[in-house]
Structure 1
C-alpha cells in the first residue's frame, strides 16, 4: 500500500492511498483522482518522507554529534519549505490552519448533506412551494441555474450556493 500526500492546483492538501506507484500514475492519467474539497482533477504529488517499519522497539538514541532526529514516533514529518510555497494562489497561511479550514468545510458540507433532502433540478420549484406554504417546510438542497437563483432571491426566498465535492454527492456511508 502506498500512501501519498497530494495537492490540487488550488492548494488543498489531502492523502491518497494506492496499491502501487503505477496505480497512482494510471488513475491520475485517467483523471480519476480529484480533490475532496473542490473536485479539482489537476493533482500533484507532494514530497513526503517514507515510513519504514524495519523492526520492533524504540528508535536508537542519537549520539551527541548526530543531533536530534527530524521526527519522532508520534509526530508527523515536516514538509520542506518549498512544498508549502508550491501554490501561489493561496495566501500565506500555515498548513495546519488550511487543514483546519478544509476539515471545517467538509464537516459543514457533510452536515448539510445528512440533514437535507435532495430535490435535484426541481430545487427552485420546490423552494417556492415551501416558501408560499404549498408544501411542508423542510430543509432541501438541489441544483438551480443562475437565473433561477436570482429569481428566488428577488422573491425574498433565501438560498445559498454550496459547492459539494463529487465524492459526497452519492449516498453517505
Structure 2
C-alpha cells in the first residue's frame, strides 16, 4: 500500500491509500479521488518525506492494535449502528427532503437514514434539524 498526502484546489489536505502508483493514476483519471471535505475532484499529490522503518515506528504500529476494551467498544458501536439501521427507513438521497418534512410536521415522525452532502447536512443543522452521521468502523472499509 502507498499512502499519499493529497490536497484539493480549495486547499484542503487529506491522505489517500492506494495499492500502487498506477492505482492512484487510474483512479485520478476516472475522477474517483475526491476531497472528503468539499468533494472536489481537482486533487494533487503533495511533497512527502520517505517512510523509513525504525524501532519507534514499530512500537507505534503495535499501539494501533486494539486492546480488549477497544474491541468491546467497537462491538457496542457496531450493535448500535445495526439497531439504528433496523429501526429506520433508508430514504437514500432524499434524506434532506424527508428530514425537513418531519421537522416541519408535513409527515409523521419516524427514524430516517440516508445520504446528504456536507452542504446539505450543514443546512439541516442550521435549520435546527437534529441529525448525526452513522460511524464508519474499521472493518466496514477494510
Is it true that 1:162 corresponds to 2:134 in the alignment?
A: yes
1:86, distance to aligned residue in structure 2 (A): 2.7
1:162 deviation in Å?
1.1
* Alpha carbons 1:120, 1:141 under 8 Å: kept: yes
Equivalent-residue separation in structure 2 for 1:84 and 1:157 (angstroms): 44
* Alpha-carbon separation, structure 1, partners of 2:66 and 2:99: 40
1:98 deviates by 1.1
- Counterpart among 91, 109, 113 of residue 85 in structure 2: 113
Mapped to 2, the partners of 1:84 and 1:102 lie a distance apart of 23
> What is aligned with 2:112?
140
2:73 to 85, 90, 101: 101
- Counterpart Cα distance in 1 of 2:136 and 2:83: 12
Larger helix share, 1 or 2: 2
Instruction: List alignment gaps of at least 5 residues for structure 2.
Output: 1-57
Q: Which runs of 5+ in 1 are unaligned?
A: 1-82, 169-173
1:124·1:144 contact (CA, 8 Å) conserved in 2? yes
Cα distance change, pair 109–87 in 1 and its aligned pair in 2 (3 A)? farther
Would the alpha carbon gap of residues 158 and 132 (structure 1) be closer, same or farther in structure 2, given more than 3 Å must change?
same
Q: In the aligned structure 2, how far is the partner of 1:94 from the partner of 1:122? A: 37
| Contact 1:153–1:159, Cα closer than 8 Å, also in 2 | yes
Give the structure, 1 or 2, with the largest relative contact order (CA under 8 Å, sep 6 or more). 1
Task: Map 1:7-156; keep pairs closer than 5 Å.
Answer: 86-88=61-63, 90=64, 95-156=67-128
Q: Deviations over 1:1-42 (max 9, x none)?
A: xxxxxxxxxxxxxxxxxxxxxxxxxxxxxxxxxxxxxxxxxx
| CA distance in 2: counterparts of 1:132 and 1:87, whole angstroms | 50
Q: What residue is the counterpart of 2:54 in the other structure?
A: none
Count of residue pairs brought into register by the alignment: 84
Contact 1:123–1:141 at 8 Å: present in 2 too? Answer: yes
SS at match of 2:61: coil
The 3-state SS of whatever aligns with 1:86 is helix
